[in-house]
């Protein structure tokens, strides 16, 4: 069965600190996608990144970076030089890729509440 674990429930940092959010996943499928979403207080889930199971290349986008390691089933997310506006709940998610189907079902972790203090 698919499962996503975000062991960190809450993280508090002071502005300009770097912070890493952990995500560990379980799946029996060899083909799958991993996602990170951000949920600010307004409630909308904002897409941040998608990675497929064949692409372990890590990515950096501005202050954001992602570390995907299949060997440890982890897909961690780092914010460099955090800002107050980064305060939100961050969700890691997993989806399967079945032939002929959409990416129709996301399995979410429980989320990590990140608070960045000025």
CB contact at 8 A, 22 and 69:
no
Region 57-116 residues binding another protein, contact defined as CB under 8 A: 91, 97, 99-111
Size of the site for another protein (CB under 8 A): 24
Burial (Cβ within 10 Å: 0-12, 13-18, ≥19) of residue 90: buried
Nearest to 86, CA basis, from 37, 38, 20 = 38
Q: How far is the CB of 14 from another protein (least distance, A)?
A: 27
Q: How far is the CB of 7 from another protein (least distance, A)?
A: 14
For binding to another protein (CB under 8 A), which residues are involved?
35, 37, 42-47, 50, 91, 97, 99-111
């Amino acid at each position: 069965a698919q499962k996503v674990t975000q062991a960190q429930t809450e993280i508090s940092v002071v502005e300009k600190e770097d912070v890493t959010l952990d995500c560990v996943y379980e799946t029996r499928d060899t083909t799958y996608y991993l996602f990170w979403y951000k949920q600010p207080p307004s409630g909308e889930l904002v897409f941040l990144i998608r990675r497929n199971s064949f692409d372990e290349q890590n990515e950096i986008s501005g202050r954001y970076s992602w570390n995907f390691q299949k060997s440890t089933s982890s897909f961690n997310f780092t914010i460099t030089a955090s800002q107050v506006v980064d305060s939100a709940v961050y969700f890691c998610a997993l989806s399967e890729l079945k032939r002929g189907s959409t990416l129709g079902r996301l399995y979410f972790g429980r989320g990590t509440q990140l608070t960045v203090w000025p």
